[in-house]
Amino acid sequence: MYGMELRAPLSLGLQASPETAVQSWEARDTAADAIKLAQMSMKAAYDRGHQAIAFEVGEKVLLRLHKGYKVGATLPHKIGNQYAGPYTVLQRVGNLAYRLDLGPESQLHPVISVAHLEKCPQEADPYNRTQLEPGPVEVDGEKLGDKFRSYEIENLLRKEWRKEKSGRDKGKQTPWYLVNWQGYGDKHNLWYREEHLADAQELVDAYNNKHPETRDAPQQAENTKAPEPTRRPGRPRKSGAPVQRGRSNRRRPGRARKSEARVARPPPAKRGGRSTK
């Protein structure tokens, strides 16, 4: 090789001098100290902008997608979704991992490191992106072409007692609830009778326990207005206003009724001027 003088086999077996050995150990210790100093400086710089991440059981978290974590991705990572979720925390595993509720269709391991998790923001979407509607849920007995399908209920917003105007409960007060659907905006909120929320009885009970004042129907106020007194016909009012009388039945003199003015006429004669015997 050019530019380098290789050692001969005889020189490899020679022992280094004591001075060379001391210099080698000093250089090694200096390098180790420099590495420790670099590690300490990097740790201090990282700790200045880092906070320990911890989640509570039942909290919503987002899974950061990267190599090894893909959830039905159809676009490249650069322009695709950066997070998946939100998922519910089921259990804390050690100090740096959590077990998530990924659903029965997920092929990922449910225990994920805290380095790949992030707290879910309180608002629905911090970027105000248009969310896809989740669609109906699968319920036994329902088919895809049915007119009425089942949807997940997020919560019950309000409760009102309404008087039924028709049907078997006509005249009765029945409870109605304002339903907010999971994955749909406020424009899809609808009012439903309590009997139509049989599959969401837990939400109905939770609302009644939170708002006990709406549990019973309000009592209708009675009509306490006194009826107006009836007046006898022909008597003047207290205000002294003249009483309007009806049309007089007296006949004017010299004029007779049509029935009295009629005169009986003789029977008409036969044609030809002849009369009967």
To the nearest whole number, what is the mean pLDDT of the chain? 75
How high is the pLDDT of residue 199?
85
Q: Note whether residue 18 is domain-resident.
A: no
CATH number of the domain that residue 167 is part of: 2.40.50.40
Residue 262 has pLDDT above 50, yes or no: no
How high is the pLDDT of residue 27?
93
Q: Note whether residue 98 is domain-resident.
A: yes
Return the SS3 of 200. Answer: helix
How high is the pLDDT of residue 63?
84
Q: Note whether residue 229 is domain-resident.
A: no
How high is the pLDDT of residue 126?
62
How high is the pLDDT of residue 176?
92
Give the span between the Cα atoms of 198 and 217, in whole angstroms: 19
The band of 33, judged by pLDDT with boundaries at 50, 70 and 90, is: very high
- CA-closest candidate to residue 78, choices 66, 86, 90, 88: 66
How high is the pLDDT of residue 35?
96
Return the SS3 of 113. Answer: strand
Bond prior to 134 in cis (omega within 30° of 0): no
How high is the pLDDT of residue 274?
47
Q: How many CA atoms lie within 13 A of 215 on its CB side?
A: 8
Same domain, 157 and 210: yes
Return the SS3 of 177. Answer: strand
* Among 97, 119, 141, residue at a domain's last position: 119
Q: Note whether residue 132 is domain-resident.
A: no
Q: Note whether residue 84 is domain-resident.
A: yes
- CA-closest candidate to residue 20, choices 32, 10, 31, 28: 28
- What share of the chain in percent tops pLDDT 90? 13
Same domain, 157 and 114: no
* Among 214, 239, 264, residue at a domain's last position: 214
Q: Note whether residue 82 is domain-resident.
A: yes
How high is the pLDDT of residue 275?
45
Per-residue pLDDT of 37-54, as tens digits, reads 999 999 999 888 877 888
Strands 97-101, 190-193: parallel, antiparallel or unpaired by DSSP? Answer: unpaired
Q: Note whether residue 73 is domain-resident.
A: yes
How high is the pLDDT of residue 34?
96
Query: In this structure, are residues 96 and 83 in contact, taking their beta carbons and an 8 Å threshold?
Result: no
Residue 263 has pLDDT above 50, yes or no: no
Residue 202 sits in which domain range? 153-214
Specify the residue for token string 């959830």: 71
Q: Where are the alpha helices (DSSP H) in the chain?
A: 9-12, 18-48, 201-210, 258-261
Q: Note whether residue 53 is domain-resident.
A: no
pTM beyond 0.95: the answer is: no
Give the span between the Cα atoms of 173 and 161, in whole angstroms: 6
How high is the pLDDT of residue 258?
46
Question: Which letter, b or e, does each residue of 182-206 get, where b requires 16 or more Cβ atoms within 10 Å of its Cβ?
Answer: eebeeeeeeeeeeeebeebeebbee
Domains in the chain, number: 2
Per-residue pLDDT of 81-137, as tens digits, reads 777 778 888 989 888 899 988 877 777 888 988 888 888 876 666 666 666 677 777
The answer to which of 71-75, 148-152, 232-236, 239-243 has the lowest mean pLDDT is 239-243
The band of 183, judged by pLDDT with boundaries at 50, 70 and 90, is: confident
The band of 259, judged by pLDDT with boundaries at 50, 70 and 90, is: very low
